[in-house]
Amino acid sequence: MSIEQFIANEVKSNDVVLFMKGTPQFPQCGFSGQVVQILDHVGVGYKGLNVLESAELRNGIKEYSNWPTIPQLYVKGEFIGGCDIIREMFQAGELQQLFADKGVTLNAAASA
C-alpha cells in the first residue's frame, strides 16, 4: 500500500482524522496541542496520526492535501485546515456547526 493509499484509507474510514505531531495524549508541538484541546473541548471523537513516526507520512500528508503545515484536520473525508483555521472556526462556532452538518456525533462530556 502506498502512502497515498494509506492516507486516503484513513481519511475515508474515520469520520474525523487529525494528522499531528505527537499523539492526542502527548502532542509534541503547540499547534497540534491547540487542535487537540479544541477537539476535546467540543467533544468529538477522532483518530490522531503521529507524523513524527514516519517521514513518509509527514511528507505524504502535505502532498495529499497540498497544504504545507501540520496539524491537518479531516472531517468525513474533507480537508478542513490547520491550527489557525480550526481555532478561528471554533471561536466563531463554525467548527461545531460543521460537525453537526456532517452528521458527526459530539459527546456531551468531552474527555481530556
Q: Where are the alpha helices (DSSP H) in the chain?
A: 3-13, 30-42, 55-65, 83-92, 94-102
Range 66-79 average pLDDT: 97
Q: Domain residues of the chain, as ranges?
A: 3-102
**Nearest Cα to Cα of residue 56 among 2, 111, 16:** 2
pLDDT tens for 37-52 read 999 999 999 999 999 9
Please check whether the domain covering 3-102 is classified as CATH 3.40.50.720: no
Measured CA to CA, the distance from residue 105 to residue 7 in angstroms comes to: 23
Range 92-105 average pLDDT: 95
Half-sphere exposure in the Cβ direction for 98 (13 Å, CA) = 24
How many residues are given for the chain? 112
pLDDT tens for 17-43 read 999 999 999 999 999 999 999 999 999
Range 54-62 average pLDDT: 97
Percentage of the chain surpassing pLDDT 90? 92
29 is in an annotated binding site: yes
pTM for this structure? 0.93
Mean pLDDT over the full length of the chain: 94
Assign 112 a pLDDT band (cuts: 50, 70, 90). Answer: very low
Q: Is the pLDDT at 95 greater than 80, yes or no?
A: yes
